[in-house]
Amino acid sequence: MQTLPLDDPGRPDTRSPGRFLLWTAAKQWPTQVLGLVSGMVWMVSIALVPAAVGKGIDDGIVAGDGGGLLRWSLALLGLGAVAAVTGALRHLLAVRNWLIASYRSAQLAERGVGDAGPALTRAIPTGDVVAVFANDVMRIGGLYDVSGRLAGAVVSYVVVGTILLSASPALGWLVLLGGPVLLASLSLVVRPLQRRQAQQREEAGRLTTLGADTVAGLRVLRGIGGEETFLARYSEQSQRVRRVGVRVAGVQAALDSSQVLLPGIFVVLVTWLGARFALEGRISAGQLVAFYGYTTFLTMPLRTATEFVDRAIRAHIGAGKVLRILGVPPDQEDAPTGAPAPPPGADLHDPVSGLRVRPGMLTAVVSRRPEDSAAVADRLGRHGPGARTLWGGTPLEEVDLTEVRRRIVVSEADPRLFTGTLREQLLAAHGAGSDAPEASEGPGDEQVYRVLEVASAVDVLDVLPDGLDSLVEERGRSYSGGQRQRLALARVLLADPEVLVLVEPTSAVDAHTEARIAARLAEARRGRTTVVTTASPLLLDRADHVVLLEDGVVTAEGGHRELLAGHPTYRSVVIRGEEEAWA
């Protein structure tokens, strides 16, 4: 039995949505083939029921042959048993195919999100990404749910047409040629429906993005009185979605009604001709009854075919959305031949700014423009495009990316917390909460408390009812900005990387808390390579080495007190930062 999620979803064919759907079908070919076979046997067994009934009437009732009636009655019983068994098997396989295809698509999309990293949100709105997981992957799976019935519909349609052809060439050709003609007429509805569904999908994605952004920034909106403005924007976008949805509904209704109308027209025509032929004596009484049964049955394959068309449209759009995620190139990719990582204790050199990070020291980077120092931090950790940092003389982009992420960790200025327990948040780097063997080897509670002390975050833990097992809401919105910042600092300190880069780690805390963090951080990271971007005198005074950036380039370096006394630009930046901290 195949378990879900899949161990490896595979490497998809990304050349087009159609190729992606074919590749997905090929990846689960055993259950697909079984589903197709069971679907064909199931629907053919149902299609043969009218033939058995007609034969029973002609060979048993009309001919007065009790044995013939018994034989065809047993045949009906056998067809019913086959239909019941294969119908249950077909449904089971259809659900499995649907789930496997949906999970595979979701896992591939998740891989694409992970590979693209921050580049994803710059290329695709957040709402569109959410909609892929909420809707599109399920629509892709829905195509394989109906595939077994489609195979049965095609085969049974041919079987019924052949039977009718042998009994009456006129009826046989009407069935074999009329059905495809009616289905081809659906193209008049399918293309407009596909365009309008794609448009609806785009507008709904924008609405989701707007809603997510509004919720995430609700505290700020309330602070500046902007709730009504965003409410008006959300209302306007909702109306766009409604208008597009109404346009889709009209075409969708036409397709849905065609599933009843077209087979109904076809059935009426076949029934009328069959009745005429029976009155003219060209077919027997049993054949007439069988023809009525065929006309009732033919609605099933024709409606299945129109349902498949609808599912195929939705799956094609969904596959295109998944491929859009997979097509976003990451900011950083591994080189074809990775260079060996330098040994521990190697220095980091950023040629763009001229910064050289000395191993085993706490280096502070000061800049009048925080974005300049943040850009340096990104380059040191190989984040963002265009990094050309040297690590022990080796270009950082040539080292295996996994090794870089393991040994060099950058903590951003606005760190994120995720849904789960606080313990899982803090031990994220150690696989806490997972079944991985290394999860049990992570830090114990005593070490967690020590790190919380370093980050001056013990007070956050003290007010939580369940301590480390307390639940963290989405994005940690139940915590203040300073609490989130201190918890994130504790998390990255627990990871204990060889090189730690902290971007404005105390920007959201008060001066007294900042003083405690500065002293404890310097002691906790003593002998380890640490880089801090900051303009805080409290942190700068604890640094082993301070570097000043002007227009993104190193212009001075030395000790904090030395630069404060001898460099006017440095003094103005730091004093301004001190004034802002106490304002």
What does the pLDDT look like over 136-182, one tens digit per residue? 999 999 999 998 899 998 898 888 888 878 877 877 777 777 767 77
Under DSSP, the state recorded for 414 is: S
The mean predicted confidence, pLDDT, of the chain is 82
What does the pLDDT look like over 201-222, one tens digit per residue? 677 767 776 776 665 555 555 5
- pLDDT value for 386: 57
- pLDDT value for 476: 61
The burial class, CB within 10 Å (0-12 / 13-18 / 19+), for 572 is exposed
Whether 269 and 178 have beta carbons less than 8 Å apart is answered as yes
Closest listed residue to residue 302, CA positions, set 149, 90, 166: 149
Domains of the chain (ranges; CATH) run 17-114+121-326 (1.20.1560.10), 348-582 (3.40.50.300)
What does the pLDDT look like over 300-358, one tens digit per residue? 887 788 788 888 988 998 999 999 999 988 776 666 566 788 898 899 999 999 999 99
- 432 pLDDT higher than 50: no
Q: Which residues contact 459 (CB under 8 A, 6 or more apart)?
A: none
Please give the Cα distance from 411 to 489 (Å, whole number). Answer: 8
496 φψ region: left (φ > 0), alpha (ψ -120 to 50), beta (else): left
pLDDT classification of 431: cutoffs 50, 70, 90: low
Q: What is the average per-residue pLDDT within 439-465?
A: 79
What does the pLDDT look like over 239-265, one tens digit per residue? 888 888 887 787 778 777 776 777 677
- E strands, 126-176, in order: none
**First CA to last CA across the chain, in angstroms?**
65
- E strands, 266-419, in order: 348-350, 355-357, 362-367, 390-391, 394-395, 408-411
Q: Token digits for 59?
A: 């060979």
What does the pLDDT look like over 405-427, one tens digit per residue? 889 999 887 777 777 787 887 88
Greater confidence (405 vs 517) lies with: 517
pLDDT classification of 433: cutoffs 50, 70, 90: very low
Q: Token digits for 108?
A: 């591939």
- pLDDT value for 94: 92
Question: Is the bond preceding residue 125 a cis peptide, omega within 30 degrees?
Answer: no
Residue type, 16: S
Q: Which residues contact 137 (CB under 8 A, 6 or more apart)?
A: 102, 103, 105, 106, 109, 318, 322
> Between the ranges 172-176, 440-444, 493-497, where is the mean pLDDT highest?
493-497
| CA angle, residues 124, 127, 133, in degrees to nearest 5 | 95
- State percent of the chain over pLDDT 70: 86
Long-range CB pairs of 118-122 (<8 Å, 24+ gap) are: 118/331, 118/383, 118/384, 119/328, 119/329, 119/330, 119/331, 120/325, 120/328
Whether 489 and 424 have beta carbons less than 8 Å apart is answered as no
pLDDT classification of 191: cutoffs 50, 70, 90: low
- pLDDT value for 437: 39
Name which of 12-16, 116-120, 451-455, 518-522 the model is least confident about.
116-120
- pLDDT value for 438: 42
Q: Which residues contact 449 (CB under 8 A, 6 or more apart)?
A: 458, 461
DSSP class per residue in 252-283: HHHHHHHHHHHHHHHHHHHHHHHHHHHHTTSS
Please give the Cα distance from 161 to 159 (Å, whole number). Answer: 5
Q: What is the average per-residue pLDDT within 523-532?
A: 94
Whether 504 and 533 have beta carbons less than 8 Å apart is answered as yes
Q: Token digits for 314?
A: 């939705």
